Structure 1
């Protein structure tokens, strides 16, 4: 999954997001809004012109199906304050995560984005930027069809986001990737399973967010539609203590399953 400004924005459209989305994505600051919006968070399918990855997520919510509007906000006191506006360029790495941990899809290339307050980060001249793990995780996992709160998962300790552009059409076809590193493999698996459930909950073609699952083994491949008009394709995979999500603008869903599988094969390599 999913967008570089917020995965939700990423999944909503290139204009609103010339920035981050993975991974790539309900209705919170860091995600692609249903409707022009992977990654994969405070900046962030999938996310910044990346796609938050939708949207720029897997909740305890195991809703039986998707709803036609944003999922009702669950009750919890475990919330985050509004993110602070960025005042300095984001770091190019996060912990041990570097650009080598984000594969570049065939037909796409790394694209440095300027970022901004709406994206949650300021560009650093490269195509990768560190993100606040708390906001990034929330942006990724809150797709909008099932209920989920921060009580349902453990925050990652490091998150790195990368922004892509379709070769020859960087401005009109953004993509975003997010790699989330957790303290333990168990924390990563919990988050990933919750995310899969969030995607499964978006099963209503008439909903604001619709996800058609192509495969869940060995990793997730799904086709997203936001507000019935914006198409994205997302891949996501669990690899030890890491969860990687990449969401790409895909009008008409022309990215093939074989191409998605080749991208999945690059994760963690």
Structure 2
């Protein structure tokens, strides 16, 4: 999901743009990698409760401004634990890749939320949408899309490597599709030697799969729009070891 000063959002992506409340004016896949021996076969929800982690939230490299016109004030510091649901969004809205575990993070002021003991937390939908849409390389403003009505973020871990999932729910399927089309265009614009971040889009139709290369690490992202929901999952992937087939199985688990 989106890059933050302290935390690609995504990476939300991401995407590109993953975890915590975004910091306005500061982030939720290169060569095709080979298949891993450990296939990703996401489940609809984790079989066991989340593991609490004291490890720091993932850090993404900020993309140089300006790429986006921001019309939101800085988010207020969190004062209480974030809810574990958002509207009618629950943890079941986020698939969990096999080989990854859900992890409850403590959060904090820098992350933009306070943990609630579970692996999912509500996000302000305005900031969540802005957070991930600005991870791309084309100019965009908040006038280019409609804000979602709810946002739920989840956190994963695999042997110390972080991952973030983000579900954005919109008022209509039309609004969701328009936002997702803009998100894909933002990712596709990140090419060439002068791009602030390198994004290799490997699947454009029927969902999104891309490989992201930041100065401080590699990430693989999948995303799709289903009805009124846009789901973005970004996973730390040093060396881009997650194969295309694995990413497609994760993409197919988005409902």
TM bucket (normalised to shorter chain) is: 0.7 to 0.9
Match of 1:106 in 2: 98
Conserved in 1, the CA contact under 8 Å of 2:67 and 2:138?
no
Give distance in 2, aligned partners of 1:83 and 1:155: 16
CA RMSD of aligned residues (A): 2.6
Match of 2:35 in 1: none
Give distance in 1, aligned partners of 2:172 and 2:100: 32
Give distance in 2, aligned partners of 1:230 and 1:180: 25
**1:99-118 deviation per Cα after TM superposition (whole angstroms, max 9, x unaligned):** 00000012101000011111
**Structure with the greater alpha carbon radius of gyration:** 2
The number of residues matched between the two structures is: 225
Q: 2:240 matched to 1:246?
A: no
Query: CA 1:110–1:51 in structure 2 vs 1: closer, same or farther (change >3 Å)?
Result: farther
Give distance in 2, aligned partners of 1:164 and 1:95: 22
SS of the equivalent of 1:87 reads coil
Conserved in 2, the CA contact under 8 Å of 1:24 and 1:40?
no
Conserved in 1, the CA contact under 8 Å of 2:136 and 2:183?
no
Conserved in 1, the CA contact under 8 Å of 2:223 and 2:231?
yes
Query: Normalised by the size of structure 1, how large is the TM-score?
Result: 0.76
SS of the equivalent of 1:112 reads strand
Match of 1:124 in 2: 116
Give distance in 1, aligned partners of 2:155 and 2:227: 23
Query: Normalised by the size of structure 2, how large is the TM-score?
Result: 0.80
SS of the equivalent of 1:111 reads strand
Match of 1:85 in 2: 77
Query: CA 1:20–1:192 in structure 2 vs 1: closer, same or farther (change >3 Å)?
Result: closer
Query: CA 1:22–1:96 in structure 2 vs 1: closer, same or farther (change >3 Å)?
Result: farther
* Structure 1 segments unaligned to the other structure (5+ residues): 26-30, 33-37, 56-68
Give distance in 2, aligned partners of 1:107 and 1:81: 38
Give distance in 1, aligned partners of 2:218 and 2:102: 20
Q: Residues 171-186 of structure 1 correspond to what in structure 2 (within 5 A)? A: 173-186=161-174
Conserved in 2, the CA contact under 8 Å of 1:71 and 1:147?
no
Q: In the alignment, which of 247, 256, 260 is matched to residue 243 of structure 2?
A: 256
Conserved in 2, the CA contact under 8 Å of 1:94 and 1:158?
yes
Give distance in 2, aligned partners of 1:186 and 1:140: 19
Match of 1:63 in 2: none
